[in-house]
Structure 1
Amino acid sequence: MKQKEAPLISIIIAVFNGAKTLQQCIDSTAQQTYANKELIIIDGGSKDGTVDVLESNREQIGYWVSEPDSGIYNAWNKGLSQAKGEWICFLGADDFFWDAQVLDRMASQLMMIPPDIRVAYGQIMLLNNDGKDLYPIGEPWKEVKERFKQVMSIPHPGVMHRRSLFEQHGNFDESFRIGGDYELLLRELKKADAAFVPDIIMIGMRQGGLSSSPANSIESMWDIRRAQKMHGLYFPGFFWVMAITRVYMRLILWNSIGERMTRKFIDFGRRVKGLPPYWTKT
């Protein structure tokens, strides 16, 4: 790929007390064979050594700041104010690029996407607490397009956002604690299309973030519902109803038979449906 033709890609990382994993995240960006990139890191005022990691990686980071913020969407918005890229992706400190050629392969595809497509995505690999692979997630857009209007059906760490998306729709809504990424994408994708880039695992994503915690599952679903109402989707739909039902059933089981048995029970159900285990692995 000729570098003069290559789009600038901005990688924005939000971190708070992420010293244990941030170095891997930074290294995975620095090791990319794709040259036309910038790394922006917004720290929420960490006290665990995160700032030491940032200081020691100054040469790899285009911009960083450490100061209190009001959450991940506030941090990402701060990063957006510094980003210069034509395409922008958002990561947490627990995430990392899957291999050194990810951005090279993705950029070659982004250059062929029509300008009216402002969301492109690949797959991400879910990892357990020990960093072992679980399974990839991310399906072609034509298979999840209608489902997206009801639930978050594309993996946000694997999403590339065209700059014009923010120019038209604005930044993340900071009133959300968990569902702000869904709400932002819904502004665009309730009517427009996204592009799925096959055969690329973009990100390794450790489980344990806000939306993957059982304690936050209900809040995540109601954030999605609030976003739908904001954009004129007044009826939740079958997929949302089924998802919220599963969440409540899981929490009921959690409180009645305990976390360990619940995890085993849910994964038994997943195996019956031909799905890989998840709950007993995280």
Structure 2
Amino acid sequence: MEEIKVSVILATFNAARLLPDCFASIAALHMPGLEIVVADGGSKDHTVDLLKAFRDVPLQWVSEPDKGIYDALNKGARMARGKWLYFMGADDRLLPGFVELCSKLQDENTVYYGNTIPIYGPEKPAYTLGVGAFSPWRLAQYCMNHQQILYPKTVFAKYQYPLKYRVYGDYALNLRVWGDKRFPKVFFPVDIAGYYMGGLSAHFNDTVFKKDKAGIILRSMGPVMYLHFLIKRFKLRHLYGHKDFF
């Protein structure tokens, strides 16, 4: 059996319309040592038929009720055989730069990440948070795109996506991981994925995470970062009127 280096993990539900193009972008990479892991929430469309028929890349899948996207992603992480885990949505597309980034994977405790680009959707931003290196300070201010990151599986021996957050479970996880010095972070400036503008975070609020964010920064990144974050938030909200900064 082929040794699996990277597991690409998807959480799906009634994704039959999107999966063919998503799977095609993965298969087009012709990358050895890659598997796809799909944690499906019990789809009622043709998603399961597509999973049964797919043969282009080694595939593991399960279809059963779950407690939401982050429960499904945690399930996929447990199923994965790869040394590094990559999470994407059925509406995302891998790019050739993904293979280049994967060629850099060496240390099995290091988080590697690259750039992502918006490829379609209702609008494109004036700037993108999916480009460039993220220091702990930058991450404390803004969420990075989960499609940027290849996590070593050792991260998920210690952490999971928290289920209490509807939208920002990935942000909560990354704040903890970026504050954990046992997991070095290495950035390579290559475009590894294209993502859909207008995904989950564009349609749903996550008031629970917004309430908890400052406390997560304090516990994960320490009191100095926490104080800087509070000062920055105060200035943006009260001096510059950016009420959506949380």
Q: Which TM-score band (shorter chain)?
A: 0.7 to 0.9
Hey, what does 2:150 align to over in structure 1? 160
CA contact (8 A) 1:126 1:135 kept: no
Hey, what does 1:128 align to over in structure 2? 120
Q: CA deviation at 1:58?
A: 4.9
Q: Residues 241-276 of structure 1, C-alpha deviation per residue, up to 9 Å, x if partnerless?
A: 537963549xxxxxxxxxxxxxxxxxxxxxxxxxxx
Q: For residue 65 of structure 1, give the secondary structure of its aligned residue in structure 2.
A: strand
Q: CA deviation at 1:15?
A: 1.0
Residues of 2 paired with 1:224 and 1:12: CA distance? 26
Q: Residues 5-42 of structure 1, C-alpha deviation per residue, up to 9 Å, x if partnerless?
A: x9700100111122221111111111213211110011
Q: How does 1:251-270 map to 2 (within 5 A)?
A: none
| Greater helix content | 1
CA contact (8 A) 2:115 2:148 kept: yes
Q: Name the CA shift for 1:247/1:21 in 2 (closer, same or farther; >3 Å).
A: farther
**Does residue 1:41 correspond to 2:31, yes or no?**
no
Provide the aligned C-alpha RMSD in A. 3.1
**Does residue 1:76 correspond to 2:60, yes or no?**
no
Q: CA deviation at 1:110?
A: 1.7
Q: For residue 104 of structure 2, give the secondary structure of its aligned residue in structure 1.
A: helix
Residues of 2 paired with 1:25 and 1:105: CA distance? 19
User: Alignment partner for residue 246 of structure 1, among 239, 242, 245?
Assistant: 242
Q: CA deviation at 1:43?
A: 1.0
Hey, what does 1:139 align to over in structure 2? 132
**Does residue 1:18 correspond to 2:15, yes or no?**
yes
CA contact (8 A) 1:123 1:158 kept: yes
Comparing 48-57 with 181-190, greater Cα deviation is found at 48-57
User: Alignment partner for residue 102 of structure 2, among 73, 94, 107?
Assistant: 107
Q: CA deviation at 1:178?
A: 1.5
Residues of 2 paired with 1:47 and 1:243: CA distance? 44
**Does residue 1:151 correspond to 2:142, yes or no?**
yes
Hey, what does 2:192 align to over in structure 1? 202
CA contact (8 A) 2:101 2:188 kept: yes
CA contact (8 A) 1:11 1:37 kept: yes
Q: CA deviation at 1:60?
A: 3.4
Q: Residues 70-117 of structure 1, C-alpha deviation per residue, up to 9 Å, x if partnerless?
A: 11110011111111111110111111102xx33321122223xx555x
Paired residue type of 1:204: G
Q: Name the CA shift for 1:229/1:68 in 2 (closer, same or farther; >3 Å).
A: farther
Identity %: 31
Q: CA deviation at 1:188?
A: 2.1
Q: For residue 34 of structure 1, give the secondary structure of its aligned residue in structure 2.
A: coil
Q: CA deviation at 1:128?
A: 3.3
TM-score by length of 2: 0.81
CA contact (8 A) 2:22 2:93 kept: yes
Q: Name the CA shift for 1:133/1:187 in 2 (closer, same or farther; >3 Å).
A: closer
Paired residue type of 1:127: I
Q: Which runs of 5+ in 1 are unaligned?
A: 250-282
Q: For residue 17 of structure 2, give the secondary structure of its aligned residue in structure 1.
A: helix
User: Alignment partner for residue 216 of structure 2, among 227, 230, 233?
Assistant: 227
Q: CA deviation at 1:61?
A: 4.6
Residues of 1 paired with 2:202 and 2:244: CA distance? 15
Based on CA coordinates, which of the two structures has the bigger radius of gyration?
1
Hey, what does 1:268 align to over in structure 2? none
